[in-house]
Amino acid sequence: MLHQVKESRGYKSDADLTADELKVLCEKFKVKVKEALGNEFPDDAREQLWGGIGAVFASWNGRRAVSYRRIEGIPDEWGTAVNVQAMVYGNMGDSSATGVAFTRNPANGDNHFYGEWLVNAQGEDVVAGIRTPNPLNEATKGEQNKHLPSLETAMPQVYKELDAIRARLEKHYRDMQDIEFTIQEGRLWMLQCRVGKRTGTAALNMAMDMVEERLITKSEAVMRVAPAQLDELLHPIVDPAAEKSAAVLAKGLPAGPGGATGQIVFTAADAVLWAKGGKTVILVREETNPEDVEGMRAAVGILTSRGGMTSHAALVARGWGKCCIVGAGGISVDAGRKVMKAGGREFREGDKFTLNGTRGYVYEGALAMIDATENPRFQAFMRYVDQFRRLKVRTNADTPDDAAKARGFGAEGIGLFRTEHMFYGKNSEEPLFRLRKMIISHDERERRAALDELYPYVKKDIKATLEVMDGLPVTIRLLDPPLHEFVPKREEERQKLARALNISLNDLNDRADDLHESNPMMGHRGVRLGVTYPEITEMQVRAILESTVELVKEGKRIMPEIMVPVVGIREELDDQKAIVDRIYQEVCAKYGVKRIDYMYGTMIEIPRAALTAGKIAQTAEFFSYGTNDLTQMGFGFSRDDIGGFVPAYVEKRILPADPFNILDQEGIGELIDIGIRRGRATRPKLKVGICGEHGGEPSSVEFCHRVGMDYVSCSPFRVPIARLAAAQAAIREAANAKPVKDDAAKAKGARRGRPKGSKNKPKAAGRPGRPKGSKSRPKAVGRAVKKIVSKMAKKARIKAGKKRR
């Protein structure tokens, strides 16, 4: 209704409305309130205040707040507080103003006072993105806002006072602050300050700067970058070469760093839908609001035509380290028709665009992207990180290329080399065909013949990977998946296979049917294949040992670790060890060597293996936790089939998160803990690691540290994240070693709910998914809450038709 009045009168600002117009509007509001709520709008100020207080409390269970908590992993039981205080007003004429500032640049970390303000306005106007705000000072003006007046020039005395407060706050809090202020008739009021959200790049740069400024220690610097933020630094940026030759379609404010390329959509719902369909989308909005949060999450980039660096879109994107451009005035968005105009042309849903969120440039089409890890500041930060961590970080790599890339990210070995993955990728046709011949073999003779054909491919891959990792350990897992996974589905491929095997298609189909299983995840796979078809194990072990001998003879330092998957019974491991020993003798004899150094160990991914780890460690020299399968068996959740119920579980808070993303420390973690304690009771120097996907998830890495693992292993891109998480775990552990003083910390520890019987209790250390150091909770929620209070208050003021002092 306010918007309608302003539009009909041609007003730009709320302050343009006359008192009479406001009176008329208030009557309309009152009618609307009665219509919507069934009650008269209260005239009593206390009643209004209680209404406002109630609204804040109620907002905790609003759809948006709940959705926000789901995304951020904030527990429902935390609740919210209500702060009742006197108001000051920035909308009392041209000597009044309001603003939001950061003590340093939250986008890139630059040590400049950075912010936005509006004259004759309330805070709501700055963050809502309705008016494009003015820059705080001259130094931080950019292309987009150089024509607008800065506070520094408009109100130099007030700016000076504010700048002094900035310095005091940073010195006091030893961190970048997010400040809200109001100027009421020339007098500066500080509304609040809090540790400011920042991009990963900014977090890293500020942390490094503050160490140099002697404001914080190295360990504090390491704690200042959330592992998830590091992710952002590892994400691609627009290739500068490609950018140079492309024409900028529109410019906006660089609200979230990095590059993004994708198809544009115009509603949050579309963004979610398209992303679910596997598409990469950029969400384009005039401005965003909390209803858009899920769509913003689903998009790789966000573009708005309105709003400033502190607008909703900018704040949210920065919190997530997501590429974002706001206030791109050159584009106009028509969400209803799902089109946007830019450079005099019209674009539709599905058109491809590229954003450079670091510069604020919008390009038509998909530009090339490149890595961002060559940044020397990043390298220096990671050197700090490595000074603190105890856990080694390895990588899961299945090809020599992956292995080389992971070394670049700082991997200290390969924790999981999956023999079978050579059959999935490109150039896999020949080996895959030979593997299929082996699988469909009818007896040992046929199978041995097929394995002989397969051998050169397997050996070549293993040898090349071992060579790349010269000097570092490489864990090679023997064949894991059920054989039927590799049987061709298409008739023409079956025909080809049948011809090669000199059998009929019917015969082949029969053999394939024999391999069918009701629950293949718990079927004939892993070591069970090795026990029933020892010749498969023989072939793989021979490839590993021969590769090792040949490379060692070339002067390389090769450290292979033979890992048996899906073990649940110690005797399985003994059975396979007998094969390894036999092949070892044969290879030694063939090459005329006396010994070949290798380790023999097992995955721990079957619950029974964890429970009987004391026996298994009699044979195994190392354990590697396969937490994907351990989560499947431990929960009885088939990862392929959880779609029908796990989303409902997370929704209903039966589970705090998908346990395949964030390790379930209470149940699956208990199995891990039992396994490590029992294994080390048998073999004190047992090497223990993790190679499930949790190995790169920060809260899970912290758990691995606490239970005393030697290393984590994760995908190459997650190696730096795991290194940081490991360092933070070590720093946090050292901090926790000091006596705990406050009850809240104790309560938090207790909440982990460790069963009573378990010994060797790890130190209490926060909830999974949220490192203790992270500070985003009360602020993020506070903003939504404050907005509601502010709205209620505004309505009350408007109704009253006067402004109180």
| Chain residues in the site for its own copies (CB under 8 A) | 517-524, 528, 531-532, 566, 568-569, 571-572, 575, 605-608, 611-615, 629, 632-638, 640-642, 644-645, 648-649, 652-655, 664, 666-668, 670-671, 674, 677-678, 681, 753, 755-757, 759
Q: 313 and 255 in contact (C-beta within 8 Å)?
A: yes
Smallest distance from its own copies to CB 73, Å: 16
Q: Which long-range contacts (CB under 8 A, 24 or more apart) does 767-770 make?
A: 767/75, 767/656, 767/699, 768/656, 768/657, 768/662, 768/663, 768/665, 768/699, 768/700, 768/703, 769/73, 769/656, 769/657, 769/662, 769/699, 770/73, 770/74, 770/699
Smallest distance from its own copies to CB 247, Å: 47
Residue 265 has a CB neighbour count (10 Å cut-off) of: 26
Smallest distance from its own copies to CB 487, Å: 14
Cβ distance to its own copies smaller for residue 231 or 664 = 664
Smallest distance from its own copies to CB 754, Å: 9
What would the two tokens of residue 484 be?
A: 């039927």
Give the residue from 386, 389, 381, 319 showing the smallest Cα distance to 702.
389
Active site residue 312: yes
Smallest distance from its own copies to CB 677, Å: 6
Cβ distance to its own copies smaller for residue 11 or 635 = 635
Smallest distance from its own copies to CB 583, Å: 18
**Consecutive H or E run containing 673:** helix 668-682
Active site residue 193: no
- DSSP code per residue over 732-743: HHHHHHSPP--H
Q: In degrees to the nearest 10, what's the CA dihedral of 600, 460, 693, 570?
A: -20
* Distance (Å, whole) CA 285 – CA 271: 11
Smallest distance from its own copies to CB 564, Å: 13
Q: Which of 193, 324, 691, 714 is catalytic?
A: 691
Smallest distance from its own copies to CB 576, Å: 10
Cβ distance to its own copies smaller for residue 318 or 683 = 683
* 552 bridge partner residues: none
Cβ distance to its own copies smaller for residue 290 or 667 = 667
Q: What is the DSSP pairing of strand 301-304 with strand 281-285?
A: parallel
Give the residue from 209, 198, 293, 381 showing the smallest Cα distance to 776.
198
Task: Please give the C-alpha separations between residue 90 and each of 191, 489, 779, in angstroms, as whole numbers.
Answer: 11, 70, 22
Q: 609 and 616 in contact (C-beta within 8 Å)?
A: yes
- DSSP code per residue over 128-150: HTSSPPEESSSTT--TTTTTSPP
- DSSP code per residue over 440-487: T-SSHHHHHHHHHHHHHHHHHHHHHHHHHTTTSEEEEEPP-S-GGGGS
Cβ distance to its own copies smaller for residue 434 or 525 = 525
Cβ distance to its own copies smaller for residue 248 or 515 = 515
Q: Which of 312, 484, 694, 705 is catalytic?
A: 312
Cβ distance to its own copies smaller for residue 232 or 629 = 629
Cβ distance to its own copies smaller for residue 10 or 644 = 644
| Helix spans in 683-776 (H) | 698-706, 719-737, 743-751
* Distance (Å, whole) CA 458 – CA 477: 12
Hey, is 425 helix, strand or coil? coil
Q: 512 and 551 in contact (C-beta within 8 Å)?
A: no
Cβ distance to its own copies smaller for residue 119 or 610 = 610
Q: 719 and 393 in contact (C-beta within 8 Å)?
A: yes
Smallest distance from its own copies to CB 488, Å: 18
Active site residues: 312, 691
